Each structure stands twice: as structure tokens, then as C-alpha cells.
Amino acid sequence: MKHLISLKDWSAEEILDVLKLAAEVKAEPQNYAGALTQKTLLMMFEKPSLRTRLSFEIGMTQLGGHAIYYDMSTSPMSGGKETIEDSIKVISRMCNVVMARLFNHADILKMAEHAAIPVINALTDNSHPCQVLADLQTIQEKKGTLKGLKLAYLGDGFNNVTHSLMNGCTRLGINISVGSPEEQMPAVEVTETAMRFAQESGCELVITDDPVEAIKDADVVYTDSWMSYHIPKDEEAARIKLFTPYQVNAELMKHAKPDAIFMNCLPALRGCEQTAEVIDGPQSVVFDEAENRLHAQKAVLLKLCGAA
Ligand code: CP
Ligand code: NVA
């Protein structure tokens, strides 16, 4: 049995395999219409969501199965009345696969340790692997290749999406530059692992506080919210000040390749991590990226349930 907790746990072959399936699922959805008949996905949410909830719930419907939305604030777990271990053992007796969007990464690791069914990380404070599978699918569609490209990430480096991009890109030989302020650099252990993957796959990982160096000659420019779901509101003003030099605007985009695409996992705020001219401009692929969550998540479900 396999889980999707972090892309660092998946080999390049496994990632490419699921991307190939995602492309097939997108091209010929009817071929998979009954692949998960009678199967149930439990979707546990401690934080809000639009894309992740829709893609998994609609994905299960389209594959012939069923998805249950479970608001964690209504669970015995959140009241401290039941342990994660007991809960996941019960879930394993009734469901076929479970996904969870949680605050603490340690909690999803604990779930995976005690689960008898596949566990999918639907975002924690540490990582967001499902998002990055859809991102890689989008890059492959738009650029026709992955290996050898340069992806530049601008903004909050100590961030779940950033960490998963670092794992996914370096696994597949995509050069990646993270441009972040000193105070918000990626987690050290993520950088160390990604450095090792970069050596293995023959690409470069650059972490810099210089936004121009990060974006220079990039094929893909990526940014994410400065106010992730878990960040307290009272940090907003300080974070806006800290990240403003990393805002993706038309001026900064001039340093990327002229045919660079712009990505944001969404939700996005115009005037913060990017300007409206960029996210609503011709280089932006953010809605193709959002749509690919559906196809990529269907591929993940099919693989983990052993149906493809
Ligand atoms: N990108 C993403 O995960 O979006 P949601 O928070 O809406 O699920
Ligand atoms: N970094 C963002 C991603 C949202 C999909 C967050 O954690 O809120």
C-alpha cells in the first residue's frame, strides 16, 4: 500500500507515471468512469478549500465512487475526545482511501503510520503534493517537456507549496530558484533533501534573497499567497512589508524568458503576491492549473486504489 504524504517519498518514475495517467484521464475521462465503483473517499478538512475539495469530490463522482466531506471541527478528534490512531483505524474499516487537509504535518504522518488504507496529504503546514502534481501536469502541457526547464518561485519560501515544488522539480530534473527574504527561507531539511535530488537528477536548486536573480531566464514563474491559511491575521502587515520586493509584477516578469508562463496555485490576491496585470495577463495559466487539480487528483486516486 502506498500513501501520498510528500513528493520526496515518490521516485521520479512514480511521479512521471501519475502525470502520464493524469494526461490520459484528462484526454479520455470516459475510459475511467467506473474505475472506483463502490469505493469511498473520506475528505477531512481542518482548513478551508475550494479547489482541493472540488477536485477530489468531483473526481470520485466521475470515477464512479463516493466522497464524504468531513469538517474536522465536528469530529471527536478535534475535541480531544478521540486519538488520531483510533480514528484512522475506524476510518480504515469503512473507507477505501482518505485525504486530509491539516494544520500539523506530524498529524498526517501519524495517520499514515496507523492507517490500513492509502492516506493523501491534501495540504499541511509543510507540504502540498497534490497541488504540485497538477502544476507539473500544467507545465508539461504548456512547455511540452519538464527536464531542463527553470522554474522560479517568488515570495514566501517557508511554505507548503514551495516545499513541494522543490521536491517535485528536483526529482524530475527541473531547475528551481526560490527567491525569498532571509526571514522566510524554505525549511532546512527540505532544502537538504532537494539538494540531494538535484544532484541525482542533474539540475540546479538555487535559494536566494534576490528576486531578480531568482526569476532570471525562468520558463515558469510561480508565486503563492503571502497569508497562507494557517498564518494569523495580525502578521499580515509585517508580511506584506517583507514580501513586497518579491511581488510578481510586469517589471519583474521582464527578467523571465519572454515566453514564460505564470502560475499561482490559488487562491490569489491581486496587488499582493502578484499584480492584476500578471495574473490576468496573457502569460498566466492559473485556471488551466486549477482545472488540472481534477485530472491529477483522479490519477492519484486511481493509482493509490490500485485501479490503474
Ligand atoms: N490550491 C488549493 O489547494 O486551493 P484550495 O485551498 O481552494 O483547495
Ligand atoms: N500556501 C497556501 C496554499 C493554499 C492552497 C496555504 O497554505 O494557504
Would you say residue 2 lies in a domain?
no
Tell me, in angstroms, the distance from the centre of ligand 1 to residue 202's CA. Answer: 31
Q: Is residue 86 part of a domain?
A: yes
Catalytic site residue 107? no
| pLDDT number for residue 29 | 98
| Co-location of 284 and 299 in the same domain | no
Ligand 1 atom 7: the closest Cα is on which residue? 50
The residue among 235, 248, 25, 268 whose CA lies nearest residue 151 is 248
Is residue 1 over pLDDT 80?
no
Rounded Cα distance, 6 and 146, in Å:
19
Q: Is 101 a catalytic residue?
A: yes
Q: Has residue 170 got a pLDDT over 90? A: yes
Domain presence at residue 77: yes
Split into its structural domains, the chain has a count of 2
Query: Is the residue at 225 inside a domain?
Result: yes
- Residue 79's pLDDT band (boundaries 50, 70, 90)? confident
Q: What is the mean pLDDT of the chain?
A: 98
CA atoms of 78 and 72, how far apart (whole Å):
6
CB 103 within 8 A of CB 230: yes
Catalytic residue list contains 265? yes
The response to whether residue 229 sits with its C-beta less than 6 Å from ligand 2 reads yes
Same-domain status, 151 and 280? yes
Q: Which domain holds residue 68?
A: 7-127+293-304
d(CA 143, CA 149): 9
What's the angle, vertex CA 287, arms to CA 263 and CA 122, rounded to 5?
75
Q: Which residues line ligand 1 (CB under 6 A)?
A: 49-52, 123, 131, 265-267
160-172 helix and 129-143 helix, angle to the nearest 10 degrees:
50
The pTM is what?
0.98
